[in-house]
Amino acid sequence: MLKQLFGKKAGAAPSAAAAPSTDHPIPSTQDGDINMPDTLPKNIEVNRQPTEGDMTAAGLEEAAVGENHMFHGVEEMEAITMTWSKPTLVLAYVMIFIVYFANSMMSEVSSSLLAYVTSSFGKHSLLTTTQVAASIIGGVSRLPVAKIIDVWGRPEGFLLMLLIATIGLILMAVCQNVETYAAAAVFYRVGYNGMGYVLDVFIADTSSLRNRALMFAFSSTPFIATAFAGPAAAQQFLEHSSWRWGYATFAIVIPIVSLPMVVLFIMQRNKARARGLTKKATSNRTWAESAKYYFIEFDVVGLVLLIAGWTLVLLPLTLATYQANKWRSGMIIAMIIIGGLCLIGFVVWERFFAPVSFIPFHVLTDRTVMFACILSGVLFVASSCWSSYFQSFLQVVSYQTVSEAGYIGSIYSIGACIWAVPVGFLVRHTNRFKWLALIAAPLMILSGGLMIKYRQPHTRIQLIIMCQVLMTLAGGTLVVCEQMAVMAAAEHTNVAVCLALLALFTNLGSGIGSGVSGAIWTNTFPQLLREALPEAPLKQIRMIYASLVVQKSFARGSETREAVNWAYGVAERRMCIAATAILVLTVPCVVMWRDYNVKEVRRTRGRTA
């Protein structure tokens, strides 16, 4: 299969190598960017396979037909794709597979351990609070990462994200309270998301649009194995060691498996420089001038306003019940007001004052890109609504073990990865993806409606699993199609930023969904426990609310356990209702896409998969 995927060339090579042009020398570099000339020869064959005669800086310049400006990282990556041999490209994808495997294994282990981490500090209900900030900051960070890898280069961006993820894992392993864990989760989410994002951009850089759905499907296949291995590993850590060693183990493993990818990136870049395809960006700026330049270029003011705004607006949804005066608490009111002002300030800043806009609004003017991003946000609002407390529900209400709950919770990961392969083949065979999304959107709404009915106490576990399978078929299709939509609409120079925008909406949706589910949980579960157990002391109610371990400790069929199960069922039903309501927006989002023929779209040059 790999031979078939990687052996397809971009086009027939010419019979004779063209002599390198000397009429258009590479312009001087400034501010880390490469400025391409406005006028270029009209006889360049963009879609053909480059030859040795093209492999000069001037030849690369001539290949950039129609692109008046190209960031250094993009120019560098296009040069690298011209140096790939087939074995090297295969090796790169094998390394990508290994990195994705390690990261997905860590993700699955962490999702099974999270409830026990918060419970160990007596704060099980803050499970979603740790996810809100991590999701928002992790999502917003994608756009600065997109600019980093475009300006500095792919290897530098990947290495920086690896460092941040490792710091987060170390902090998770040694944290002594839930606040430190939440901060560590932010570090890890930024690094984890960033690593995956850089690899996604690499796949986009090295694959034709027609084959890209298949290549993204290939990159997601590690989740098939880790969906089973992760929960089992988490249970072993809990039974024979501790959750701390779970994080410490991956703080060692992930750097070891990721560094070879960095080495390969750098080796190929050096090969491209040796052939004259690209050169190291230079700048005459001082440290102070560089700091000022990047402060403006990365729009730090807009970045801070957006992160602070969404975080301060969403965190009160889960924190209000911990205040004596609940929603009347001065702290909660202040957070909401300041958060709202930050969001207003962000809009004003971006509209009237920002020298460089944090969000590339010009890209969002394309209706396909805009509605693909909105669809991504909608899907993750719904997903976070119904999944935040799902594994806890399975362990308490459905009496599943940690590993069994992890397996059921991972059905989406497994199924979406498996299903992505036939979806990729369907896109490749039909050359279109919109029709698949139009089928999947109503199926997604149906799966949400069935969850409302079946996520209840005394429901057969097979019915709960059925809902997960339906959601997998629909959601897996929509995720592949939304990625294809933004990449079909984007020029190659905008691919990184379009994927970053997609990730921004994804993570903002995840943060909003976590906030909504947290609000439903904190305003439903403890109140229903008091109703069901009127004679129980308040201290016991608080202990049940605070710890998953305490919830599981009551005997099956006992009055207290039945009360806990009933409260879980009501909370889950409300979360699923909220999720299904937002899913209604999926259909109009897909309808607004253009119906691209992917066979006719060509964005990349050099050797591609």
DSSP assignments along 439-482, one per residue: HHHHHHHHHHHHHHHHSSTT--HHHHHHHHHHHHHHHHHHHHHH
Structure tokens, 345? 């300030």
Which DSSP category does 609 fall into?
Answer: -
CA 113 to CA 234: how far, in whole Å? Answer: 6
The reply to whether 584 and 467 lie within a common domain is yes
Residue in 199, 6, 5, 197 with CA at minimum distance from that of residue 84:
6
The reply to whether 364 and 415 lie within a common domain is yes
The reply to whether 347 and 370 lie within a common domain is no
309, 328, 354 - which closes a domain: 354
Q: What sign does the CA torsion over 141, 162, 77, 598 have?
A: negative
What does R_g of the chain's alpha carbons equal in angstroms? 25
CA 350 to CA 357: how far, in whole Å? Answer: 6
Structure tokens, 108? 């699955």
Cβ contacts of 128 within 8 Å, gap of 6 or more: 318, 388, 389, 514, 515, 517, 518, 521
Residue 81 lies in a domain: no
The reply to whether 191 and 309 lie within a common domain is no
Cβ contacts of 188 within 8 Å, gap of 6 or more: 134, 164, 165, 168, 169, 171, 172
What is the Cα 126 distance to its own chain's centre? 22
Q: Residue 34 to residues 41, 83, 265, 295, 603: CA-CA distances in angstroms?
A: 18, 20, 20, 20, 19
The reply to whether 105 and 188 lie within a common domain is yes
Cβ contacts of 602 within 8 Å, gap of 6 or more: 10, 46, 47, 208, 209
Residues 509 and 376: beta-carbon distance below 8 Å: yes
CA 195 to CA 141: how far, in whole Å? Answer: 12
Residues 309 and 343: beta-carbon distance below 8 Å: yes
The reply to whether 434 and 517 lie within a common domain is yes
Q: How does DSSP assign 338-384, residue by residue?
A: HHHHHHHHHHHIIIII-SS-SS-HHHHTSHHHHHHHHHHHHHHHHHH
Residues 223 and 90: beta-carbon distance below 8 Å: no
- Between strands 33-35 and 69-71, the pairing is antiparallel
Residue in 175, 242, 222, 582 with CA at minimum distance from that of residue 385:
582
Residue 29 lies in a domain: no
Which DSSP category does 558 fall into?
Answer: S
Q: Where in the sequence is the domain holding 404, given as residue range(s)? A: 86-273+289-299+355-526+574-600
Residues 421 and 414: beta-carbon distance below 8 Å: no
CA 329 to CA 333: how far, in whole Å? Answer: 6
Helix orientation angle between 243-274 and 86-120, rounded to the nearest 10 degrees: 160
Residue 495 lies in a domain: yes
CA 36 to CA 67: how far, in whole Å? Answer: 7
What single letter denotes the amino acid at residue 548? L
Residue 144 lies in a domain: yes
The reply to whether 244 and 317 lie within a common domain is no
Question: What is the enclosing helix (H) or strand (E) of 34?
Answer: strand 33-35
Cβ contacts of 596 within 8 Å, gap of 6 or more: 368, 432, 433, 434, 484, 485, 488, 489
**Environment class of 25 (CB within 10 Å of its CB; exposed 0-12, middle 13-18, buried 19+):** exposed
- CATH number at 382 reads 1.20.1250.20
Structure tokens, 14? 């010419």
The reply to whether 377 and 310 lie within a common domain is no
The reply to whether 317 and 374 lie within a common domain is no
Residue 79 lies in a domain: no
Residue 429 lies in a domain: yes
Residue 536 lies in a domain: no
Degrees, nearest 5: CA angle 296-183-312: 65
What is the Cα 70 distance to its own chain's centre? 25
The reply to whether 345 and 382 lie within a common domain is no
Confidence (pLDDT) at 31: 40
Residue 375 lies in a domain: yes
Task: For 55, list phi and psi in degrees, rounded to 5.
Answer: -80, 65
Confidence (pLDDT) at 573: 92
The reply to whether 216 and 243 lie within a common domain is yes
Residues 424 and 216: beta-carbon distance below 8 Å: yes
Q: How many distinct structural domains can be found in the chain?
A: 2
Which DSSP category does 35 fall into?
Answer: E
CA 34 to CA 57: how far, in whole Å? Answer: 12
Residue 28 CB neighbours (<10 A): 8
The reply to whether 424 and 518 lie within a common domain is yes
Q: Which positions of the chain have pLDDT values less than 50?
A: 1-69, 605-609
Structure tokens, 209? 């649009």
SS (H, E, C) 205-244: HCCCHHHHHHHHHHHHCHHHHHHHHHHHHHHHHHHHCCHH
Residue in 609, 607, 606, 603 with CA at minimum distance from that of residue 67:
603
Confidence (pLDDT) at 20: 36
Residues 392 and 384: beta-carbon distance below 8 Å: no
526-535, long-range: CB < 8 A, 24+ apart: 526/321, 528/563, 528/566, 528/567, 528/570, 528/571, 529/563, 529/564, 529/567, 532/562, 532/563, 532/566, 532/567, 533/559, 533/560, 533/563
pLDDT digits (tens, 9 = 90+) for 278-310: 666 666 777 887 788 878 877 888 888 888 887
